[in-house]
Amino acid sequence: MNVAALIQIFTFAWQGFWRNIWLSIVTITIIALALFSVNFLIILNVVTATAIDVIKNKVDVSLYFRPEITETQVLEAQTFLSALAQIETTTYISQQDALQAFRQRHQQDQTIIASLDELGDNPLGATLIVKAKQIEDYPEIISVVTNSKYNDLILDKNFADNQVYIEKIKNVSDNVNKIGFAAAGIFILIAGLIVFNTIRVAIYTHREEIGIMKLVGATNWFIRSPFIVESFFYAILGTVLAVAVVFPALNVVQPYIDAFFLAEGFSLRDYFMSHFLAIFGIELLITILLNVSSSSIAIRRYLRV
């Protein structure tokens, strides 16, 4: 392979691209759409994974002790729990602190405040807030507590609600993923077929040249290469267009992400920038592979003579 042949291959490829410019534009657009749907899937995955992480970090179990249980008994239970391998932290909230926090939460509700005043005694028990190392550990921790001698001291545990939220998020994200995968799969299939068709049209346009090339002793590799290079052009331009569409789309979505994550401050744009090569590099490689194989199949029939 010499430089002259390489220049010739690129020239033929460029001619093929320009002579069917509208077909080229359609092909590039479909590739970009397919990649956009893949990136949409990535966005969904990243957002749901981050949301689950945020929620997981917020998940803890509150063990509400009976009001008559003494501080010593609660602290004994705390020591017992802290010894468990699955426990990250335990926080003790005394009866007085619990009452104070309760009053603060309901300071606008005069009925509740009046009721508390009428009762005189503190109706609230102490609370132990337990945080596990892994969210999967909570059922086991709850089981240990339930089977321990401290279970009778506890009035209520609040783990079930958190479990429901996490399951709901997981279900929604699983369903969105399934739909996203199907949509991306369909787009990728369509993109493959469009590239196949575009290359076939390009070959048809060049059929005379191909015949003459074969007649004068051009190798199959030389004849095939311009079409492969042309499909490279489609892959590269399709990916560039996808990048050009994805980033403005991220800017549109970001305010909603900010509203959802509030203080956690998750930036999709930063995520895509820091994973730029991994995301778009792999997408480009896969698109090139798909295009090259699809155009190789398209041209095979014309190289038999």
Partner 1 sequence: MIILKSVSKIYPGNSVALKGINVHIKPKEFVSIVGRSGTGKTTLVRILTAEEPPTQGTVIIGGWDITHIKRSEVPILRRQIGVVFQDFKLLEKKTFFENIAFALQACGTSWRRAREIIPQVLKIVGLSGKEHRYPVQLSGGEQQRVAIARALVHRPKILLADEPTGNLDSINTQEIVDLLLKINEFGTTVLLVSHDREVVNYVNKRVITLDNGQIISDQKHGKYLL
Query: How far apart are CB 19 and partner 1 at their closest, in Å?
Result: 10
58's enclosing H/E stretch is helix 21-58
The two tokens of residue 185 are 């799969």
- How far apart are alpha carbons 192 and 234 in whole angstroms? 11
- Tell me how many residues contact partner 1 (CB under 8 A): 21
Nearer to partner 1, 181 or 221 (CB): 221
Query: How far apart are CB 215 and partner 1 at their closest, in Å?
Result: 6
CB 235 within 8 Å of CB 281: no
Question: Pattern 4-33, binding to partner 1, x per CB under 8 A?
Answer: xx--x-------------------------
- How far apart are alpha carbons 194 and 305 in whole angstroms? 26
Question: Pattern 195-224, binding to partner 1, x per CB under 8 A?
Answer: -------------xx-xxxxxxxxxx-xx-
Nearer to partner 1, 197 or 205 (CB): 205
- How far apart are alpha carbons 72 and 282 in whole angstroms? 59
Quote the DSSP letter at residue 20: T
Strands (E), 148-243: 154-157
Query: How far apart are CB 202 and partner 1 at their closest, in Å?
Result: 16
| 75: alpha, beta or left? (left if phi > 0; alpha if psi -120 to 50) | alpha
Question: Pattern 158-187, binding to partner 1, x per CB under 8 A?
Answer: ------------------------------
Task: Decide if residue 296 touches partner 1 (CB under 8 A).
Answer: no
Cα separation of the two ends of the chain: 23
3-state secondary structure of 131: strand
Nearer to partner 1, 25 or 212 (CB): 212
Which of 259, 262, 277, 305 is in the footprint of partner 1 by CB under 8 A? 305
- Interface residues toward partner 1, by CB under 8 A: 1-5, 8, 208-209, 211-220, 222-223, 305
